[in-house]
Amino acid sequence: MIPSALRFATLTAALFAAAAVHAAHAADTAPAAAGPDLGCHVGAYRLDDGRSLTLGRIDQPSALRWRLLDGRTGKLASKDGALVATVGWSDRADTVKVELGRCGEGVVFDGHRGEPVKLDVVDTQFEGAGVKLRGRLVLPAGQDKVPVVVMVHGSENYSGVDLYYQQYLFPSEGVGVFVYDKRGTGGSSGKYTQNFHELSDDAVAALREALRLGGERVGRIGYLGGSQGGWIAPLAASKAPQAQFVEVGFGLADGVLAEDRDQVVLDLRAAGFGDAATLRKARELTDATGLIASSSGQRGWTELAAVRKKYETQPWWKAVKGEYSGLVATHTREQVMAEFKKYDYEVSWDYDPMPVLRTLKTPQLWVLGGDDIEAPSEETQKRLTALGRAGRPITSVVFPQADHGILEYESKNAQGERQHMRTADGYLRVLLDWIKRGTLDGWPYGTAKQLAGPK
């Protein structure tokens, strides 16, 4: 049995994340370790074989994350005066050797010399919807007109300006990036929220600021939203006529409650309870727990009590986890309400993305993971395929074996969790090609498969 303190920490995390798909390693978070600050090496490098290498910050001054365009990645940590490399987000030792020179100088990556890529960087502060937001525009050096993408946050509460790697990798491939700290995070004012309407208004302001700063250098401009940003980016585009494209990575074309509901389906299938009758019973449970979550505990308890009375002794009941259903179902009302009182994120529980997706004229690209356990994509794939076949300007692509974040995994750790090893090969090229040209003309993109597109 899990100690009660740990169980409540888990419950708190689940309730916090219920409306927001996790950011999937957009940045690493770990306790700071002693060692030299490697931040001066952050940036883009051109290797002597032509490849782009990015060194990005994580939440440890003495560590960096390297990334290549093909999706390979690893962590570099300073230990006893040497750089220790690990594969992906695992603790497995990496054979890649990286040598860092003095600040501002080149690097040696796995035997290849890399020189810093010059970028034009402008930091800014701008007005969002009643808040002051911190932003940054990063363009390839020069005067040429370039496409620009505005990064829309997921559910994370850290600084996008400090930690988003796309601001280095994309400009080194000819695409400008505007990053900003969403309200209540990093250098932006206001209160952290999961109100999609407020966040989409801020995203509209961010696009305007990118246009103002970029001036005549801005060619095509649009949004890229990952995870929770998949709800916000299309909504922002519906309010911003200047947006010429929308990209969504590992988002849902369904409501907020669908995340927990679909995770429960995966739980039951994995435990051998995937028959239709059991899934119908489980839907009664997720309807009740969803009502509790979406009402901050004001409704749903009668429904949960009825479901518990009917099914609590059945074998499948203990297999339910979901985002929060398993925890809510196994705690008392008083315990759950005590946790609700600690958090008020103004979650847009009732937001339905389909009206926007059905009417938005701005071309959209959706990229999904076929093995996503944070935001199960089965229903979203069906909806996007139907929209594309109906003539909506939506192209959808799936990486069949990819998890949330379009990440590939190889094994599970001692806690039974997936060990993410890399970003799927082809994912970053899919994003860049669409930003540049509004079409996918570089097939194959790794294992990706196109589901549907506009007629």
DSSP letter for each residue of 97-159: -EEE-STTS-EEETTEEEEEPPEEEEEEEEE-SSSEEEEEEEEESSS--EEEEEEE--S--S-
Q: Which of 62, 93, 116 represents a domain boundary (last residue)?
A: 116
What does the pLDDT read at residue 287? Answer: 96
Query: 134 and 197 share a domain?
Result: yes
What does the pLDDT read at residue 107? Answer: 96
Query: 429 and 446 share a domain?
Result: yes
Query: 174 and 321 share a domain?
Result: no
Distances (CA, A) of 363 to 27, 235, 273: 28, 13, 40
What does the pLDDT read at residue 133? Answer: 98
Query: 243 and 273 share a domain?
Result: no
Instruction: State the maximum Cα–Cα separation within the chain, in Å, rounded to a whole number.
Output: 68
Q: Using one digit for the tens of pLDDT, what is the confidence trace for 405-452?
A: 999 998 776 667 889 999 999 999 999 999 999 999 999 999 999 998
Query: 200 and 244 share a domain?
Result: yes
Question: Given the structure tokens 């010429």, which residue do they identify?
Answer: 244
What does the pLDDT read at residue 17? Answer: 45
What does the pLDDT read at residue 20? Answer: 39
What does the pLDDT read at residue 212? Answer: 98
Q: Which domain holds residue 215?
A: 119-255+349-452
What does the pLDDT read at residue 62? Answer: 86
**Cβ distance 421 to 88 under 8 Å?**
yes
Query: 332 and 378 share a domain?
Result: no
Specify if 29 maps to a domain. no
Number of domains, the chain: 3
Looking up residue 383, the CATH number of its domain turns out to be: 3.40.50.1820
Strand partners, 46: 52, 115
H-helix segments, 273-353: 276-294, 301-311, 325-329, 333-340
Query: 333 and 221 share a domain?
Result: no
Specify if 214 maps to a domain. yes
Query: 125 and 263 share a domain?
Result: no
Give the Cα separation of 352 and 152 in Å (integer): 18
What is the DSSP track for 67-97? EETTS-EEEEEEETTEEEEEETTSS-B----
Query: 124 and 247 share a domain?
Result: yes
**Cβ distance 397 to 66 under 8 Å?**
no
Specify if 34 maps to a domain. no
Q: Which of 314, 340, 366 represents a domain boundary (last residue)?
A: 340
Query: 47 and 182 share a domain?
Result: no
**Cβ distance 220 to 147 under 8 Å?**
yes
The ranges of the chain with pLDDT < 50 are 1-22, 24, 31-33
Query: 14 and 133 share a domain?
Result: no
Query: 309 and 354 share a domain?
Result: no
Specify if 241 maps to a domain. yes
168, two tokens: 């280095």
Q: Which of 306, 340, 374 represents a domain boundary (last residue)?
A: 340
What does the pLDDT read at residue 2? Answer: 31
What does the pLDDT read at residue 34? Answer: 52
Specify if 250 maps to a domain. yes
Specify if 28 maps to a domain. no
